[in-house]
Amino acid sequence: MSFTLPRRAALAGAAAITGFPRLGFTQPRQPIKVGVPTILSGRVAQLGISSRNAMQIEVDRFNAEGGLDGRPIELVVRDSRGTPAEAARLAREMISSEGCEFLLDAEASSGGFAVHEVVRETGTLTLHVNSETSSLTADPRQRFWNAFRVARQGIHDSIAGGDYASKVARARNLRRWMTVAPDYAYGRDTTAEFVEYLKHFHSEVQVVGDTWPRLFQPDYTENITRLSQGRPQAIYSCLWAGDLVTFVEQASLFGLFANSAFFAVNMADYTTLQQIRNLPRGVHSGNRYLKNFPNVPGNLDFATEYNRRFNTFPTNWSWQSATAVRLLGKAMRDAGGTTPRAVAAKLAGMRIASPFGADGHVTMRAEDQTLVGYAIGWGVTIPADPFVENMQPSNWADIFRLEAEWKRNKGWN
Amino acid sequence: MARDILLAGVILAGFLGLEFTGLGSSGLLDFAIRFAIFGLLAMSLNLLIGTTGLVSFGHAAYFGMGAYSFGLLMQSGGWSIPAAIAVAILATALLALVVGALCVRLSEIYFAFLTLAFQMLLHSLILSWIGLTGGDQGLMGGIPKPAFWGIELAKPAHLAGFGMFCLLLSVVLLRQIIRSPFGAALRMLRDNPDRAGFLGLSVYRYRLAAFVIAGAFAGLSGVLMSLYVSGAFPTFAFWTTSGEAIFMIMLGGIQVFLGPLVGTAIFLLLNDWITALTEHHGLFMGTILLIITLGLRKGLLDFVMEWRAARRRAAP
């Protein structure tokens, strides 16, 4: 009796024995690797972690919906420690060694610019998720086809803040202003822009003094003393995160806010709101991330899901990161693949429904490849959840008009 | 010297050969570029620490100066890369001359802290001169990399090859400097400056010369860094960059000429592995460095060379 082994069976058997069990069977679809250089250690770690967490929620959703024709997204997250050179290295390594097809750059501004230069060379489609420095996309020299920004911008916040503050100033006759801001480019630029638009909307305002604490300064006594001596009716600050927490706690002890209205553009983020031991009532703040602004079910659902998975609340970096994944996922599906030029073409001008949008949508503006239409507003703090009330949404028509003027003045049109 | 050049040529040819034969990977290229940058920085610093006995905490100032001056020149337009590199090195050497003239009269902790003070001065200048340097956001807008002599530094393979060439050339030059009578004088200054002075050597001038040479090589490593990241950032001139270079030297060895290169390789590999494996970079990196430092109590190559010498002595 002769026994003949069919060739396919023999091959499959040999493959199984020799360690190639998938030979002859359907290969699983290759994941779409997306590199995420971000800050997971140091003083900004909380924000970097919140970026990664939000991306993971959205990636899980995308994959559960079938991915891109069966191809899931796989995030490759690495810690740059906030160092631009390390961010650039990681970006290069993700592209060249780890096979990442896209980058979601979740660095702060300086690291973001380093990544920007890397992808300018490599042509990797990149979404900057957290850099708020306006020049990243407003300056035409910084623009190229494969880089997009999915983050709020300093100029948008300054116009919105100036508009809101001018209304409060008129209503309460606040004419003497002082500023306290971190002594580096972001602090100086943002303060200058806020003051410019405050005066634009209310020409009688006078800035009678300023003080510039160092970044990560532990003791603000000298700055608080300077502010107290100036006797301002209102104080503006773009201090952020731990610096803002420390300043507010120390300033409260000195009774600074009893005599001066306080406008802090970066207060309304849960990392800040929940860390201040006795959050003063009545501080005016721009929204960073609030689960009740926009007050829509999708936003609350996002915060609830985030809280369920990570036992904390999202941050400004979270909604931006979630939006970036949603935009990228939709662009890939619309393009029917991961070809960078095709995906970039779909991204430019893309408008998607979003719980973080001012009117339920956000748009990737084609002309400068930056996100617009996201919810911006100001409100006042209260000591307990939801921490900020009476949110006043800003008017995007005014923002667009003044932003265009600002660009013209800079010669960036 | 001919033997050194031959050896360097063989290593460079071997590295370039990997690319031609397709054995080189993009990961290897990335590593080679960074190895060239930080290896050169560590080697240059060891001319001060290991050879001259001057522990500088402010060496990153010249790294940053090289990066910024090269980046600014290239962004201004009209400069070829070799010309910009030459001017950047000269500018860095000039900075080292000015700082060195004030620092090298001091020794030990006073020298170390004065170099650190000048470095922080430069760092503050970079942060505050926003119009020129971009402040804390760094030199933005990219650095043009026009091709020269058939070399296109925008391509990672070319940049890696160029970086390795600069490193090997610098290593050969540094070795010649150390083996020359000038190098012997520096070692004498390190071991006993009073005696060298009594023998008629100008301690000040020799130290200043070593300081300027080390600064110039650090400037070249800064140039390579700005080419690598297509920009320049204030952290290049921050004390942490100096600290990393000192760590690399301590890991590899101070006494053996190639010790800093070995330390650089260990440091970069550890950094890359830890970053890829865990989010707790500082905890793991610190623990491993602590174990190595406490375990060996000297650099790896110093340890190996002493161990070999001890075996030779013990042999019948």
Beta bridge pairs of residue B232: B139
**In angstroms, what is the C-alpha Rg of chain B?**
20
Instruction: Residue A254: count other Cβ atoms within 10 Å of its Cβ.
Output: 14
User: Please, are residues B128 and B232 in contact by the beta-carbon 8 Å criterion?
Assistant: no
3-state DSSP assignment of residue A413: coil
Q: What mean pLDDT do residues A206-234 have? A: 93
DSSP string, A329-371: HHHHHHHTS--HHHHHHHHTT-EEE-TTBTTSEEEEETTTTEE
Q: What mean pLDDT do residues A394-399 have? A: 95
CA distance A401 to A348: 21
Q: What mean pLDDT do residues A34-46 have? A: 88
Same domain for A78 and A140? yes
What is the least distance, in Å, from the CA of A185 to any CA of chain B? 6
User: Please, are residues A51 and A317 in contact by the beta-carbon 8 Å criterion?
Assistant: yes
Same domain for A208 and A335? no
pLDDT digits (tens, 9 = 90+) for B80-108: 999 999 999 999 999 999 999 998 888 77
**Residue linked to tokens 């050194």:** B4
> Quick one: pLDDT at residue A6?
56
Beta bridge pairs of residue A207: A177
Task: Say which amino acid occupies A293.
Answer: F
pLDDT digits (tens, 9 = 90+) for B54-86: 888 999 999 999 999 999 999 888 899 999 999
Q: Complex ipTM, two decimals? A: 0.72
Residue A29 is classified by DSSP as: P
> Quick one: pLDDT at residue B24?
62
Same domain for A60 and A70? yes
**Residue B282 CB partners (closer than 8 Å, separation 6+):** A41, A81
3-state secondary structure A94-121: HHHCCCCCEEEEECCHHHHHHHHHHHHH
The pLDDT > 70 percentage for chain B reads 95
A217 compared with A126, residue with greater pLDDT: A126
Beta bridge pairs of residue A106: A38
Q: Do B281 and A41 touch (CB under 8 A)?
A: yes
pLDDT interval class at B23 (50, 70, 90): low
Instruction: Residue B109: count other Cβ atoms within 10 Å of its Cβ.
Output: 10
Instruction: Residue B182: count other Cβ atoms within 10 Å of its Cβ.
Output: 14
Nearest by Cα to A130 from A163, A152, A159: A152
3-state secondary structure chain B: CHHHHHHHHHHHHHHHHHHHCCCCCHHHHHHHHHHHHHHHHHHHHHHHHHHHCCCCCCCHHHHHHHHHHHHHHHHHCCCCHHHHHHHHHHHHHHHHHHHHHHHCCCCHHHHHHHHHHHHHHHHHHHHHCHHHHCHHHCECCCCCCCCECCECCCCHHHHHHHHHHHHHHHHHHHHHHHHCHHHHHHHHHHHCHHHHHHCCCCHHHHHHHHHHHHHHHHHHHHHHHHHHHCCECHHHHCHHHHHHHHHHHHHHCCCCCCHHHHHHHHHHHHHHHHHHHCCCHHHHHHHHHHHHHHHHCCCHHHHHHHHHHHHHHHCC
Q: What mean pLDDT do residues A293-313 have? A: 95
Q: Is residue A10 part of a domain?
A: no
Residue A256 burial by Cβ neighbours in a 10 Å radius (0-12, 13-18, 19+)? buried
Q: Do A88 and B229 touch (CB under 8 A)?
A: yes
Judged against a pLDDT cut of 60, whether residue B264 lies above it is answered with yes
Q: Do B26 and A41 touch (CB under 8 A)?
A: no
> Quick one: pLDDT at residue B143?
84
Q: What mean pLDDT do residues A128-146 have? A: 89
Q: Is residue A23 part of a domain?
A: no
Q: What mean pLDDT do residues B12-33 have? A: 71
Q: Which residues from A are below 8 Å from B30, CB to CB? A: 89, 92-93, 96-97
Same domain for A267 and A168? yes
> Quick one: pLDDT at residue A17?
45
User: Please, are residues A122 and A97 in contact by the beta-carbon 8 Å criterion?
Assistant: no
> Quick one: pLDDT at residue B136?
78
Task: Say which amino acid occupies B156.
Answer: P
pLDDT digits (tens, 9 = 90+) for A70-124: 999 999 999 988 887 789 889 988 998 888 999 999 998 778 888 998 898 889 9
Same domain for A330 and A291? no
Average of per-residue pLDDT values in chain A? 90
pLDDT digits (tens, 9 = 90+) for A243-289: 899 999 999 999 999 989 999 999 998 988 888 888 889 999 999 99
Q: Which residues from B are below 8 Å from A39, CB to CB? A: none
Q: What mean pLDDT do residues A200-226 have? A: 92
> Quick one: pLDDT at residue B19?
63
Give the pairing of strands A388-393 and A370-372.
unpaired
**Residue linked to tokens 């623990």:** B287
Find the chain B residues whose C-beta atoms sit closer than 8 A to any C-beta of A.
25-27, 29-30, 34, 127, 130, 134-138, 140-143, 154, 156, 225, 228-231, 233, 235-236, 272, 275-276, 279-282
Q: Which residues from A are below 8 Å from B156, CB to CB? A: 92, 96
Give the pairing of strands A73-79 and A284-287.
unpaired
CA A277 → CA A245, A280, A288, A312, B300, distances in Å? 9, 9, 19, 17, 50
The alpha carbon dihedral of A265, A269, A272, A275 has a sign of positive
Same domain for A254 and A395? yes
Joined together, the tokens standing for residue A401 give 């008009």
Q: Do A78 and B275 touch (CB under 8 A)?
A: yes
Nearest by Cα to B50 from B154, B231, B213, B187: B187
Q: Is residue A5 part of a domain?
A: no
User: Would you give the end-to-end CA distance of chain B in angstroms?
Assistant: 34
Q: Is residue A86 part of a domain?
A: yes
Average of per-residue pLDDT values in chain B? 87
Q: Which residues from B are below 8 Å from A81, CB to CB? A: 281-282
Q: Which alpha helices (DSSP H) does A97-219 contain, by range?
A: 109-122, 135-138, 154-172, 185-201
Q: Is residue A301 part of a domain?
A: yes
pLDDT interval class at A24 (50, 70, 90): very low
Task: Say which amino acid occupies A297.
Answer: P
Helices (H) and strands (E) in chain A, counts: 15, 15
Q: Do A84 and B27 touch (CB under 8 A)?
A: no
Q: Which residues from A are below 8 Å from B229, CB to CB? A: 84-85, 88-89, 114, 117-118
Q: Do A110 and B137 touch (CB under 8 A)?
A: yes
Judged against a pLDDT cut of 60, whether residue A139 lies above it is answered with yes
> Quick one: pLDDT at residue A84?
79
Q: Is residue A263 part of a domain?
A: yes
Judged against a pLDDT cut of 50, whether residue A1 lies above it is answered with no
Diameter of chain B measured on Cα atoms: 69
State which residue of chain B sits closest to A140, comparing Cα positions.
B141
B26 compared with B261, residue with greater pLDDT: B261
Q: Which residues from B are below 8 Å from A116, CB to CB? A: 140
Judged against a pLDDT cut of 70, whether residue A9 lies above it is answered with no
Same domain for A252 and A391? yes
- What CATH number does residue A397 fall under? 3.40.50.2300
**In angstroms, what is the C-alpha Rg of chain A?**
24
Could you give the number of structural domains in chain A? 2
User: Please, are residues B149 and B141 in contact by the beta-carbon 8 Å criterion?
Assistant: no
Same domain for A78 and A205? no
Q: Do B231 and A184 touch (CB under 8 A)?
A: no
Diameter of chain A measured on Cα atoms: 108
Same domain for A342 and A272? no
Q: What is the pTM of this model?
A: 0.80
- What is the span of the domain harbouring residue A256? 155-295+377-410
pLDDT interval class at A8 (50, 70, 90): low
CA distance A55 to A72: 13
Q: What mean pLDDT do residues B234-253 have? A: 90
Same domain for A401 and A291? yes
CA distance A265 to A262: 10
Same domain for A145 and A229? no
> Quick one: pLDDT at residue A285?
93
Which of B82-103 are b and which e, b meaning 16 or more Cβ less than 10 Å from the residue's Cβ? eebbbebbebbbbbbeebbeeb
Q: Is residue A288 part of a domain?
A: yes
Instruction: Residue A348: count other Cβ atoms within 10 Å of its Cβ.
Output: 16
Same domain for A130 and A244? no
User: Please, are residues A185 and B130 in contact by the beta-carbon 8 Å criterion?
Assistant: yes
Mutate to test the interface with A, among B41, B137, B284 (most CBs of A within 10 A): B137
Judged against a pLDDT cut of 60, whether residue A15 lies above it is answered with no
Instruction: Residue B264: count other Cβ atoms within 10 Å of its Cβ.
Output: 28
Nearest by Cα to A165 from A177, A154, A152, A155: A177
> Quick one: pLDDT at residue A20?
44
pLDDT digits (tens, 9 = 90+) for B143-195: 888 888 888 888 888 888 899 999 999 999 999 999 999 999 989 888 888 88
Lowest-pLDDT range, A23-37, A51-65, A94-108?
A23-37
CA distance B220 to B76: 19
Return the domain boundaries, chain B. 2-239
Nearest by Cα to B40 from B92, B94, B98: B92
Q: What mean pLDDT do residues A298-318 have? A: 95
Q: Do A92 and B127 touch (CB under 8 A)?
A: no
Beta bridge pairs of residue A33: A74
pLDDT interval class at A25 (50, 70, 90): very low
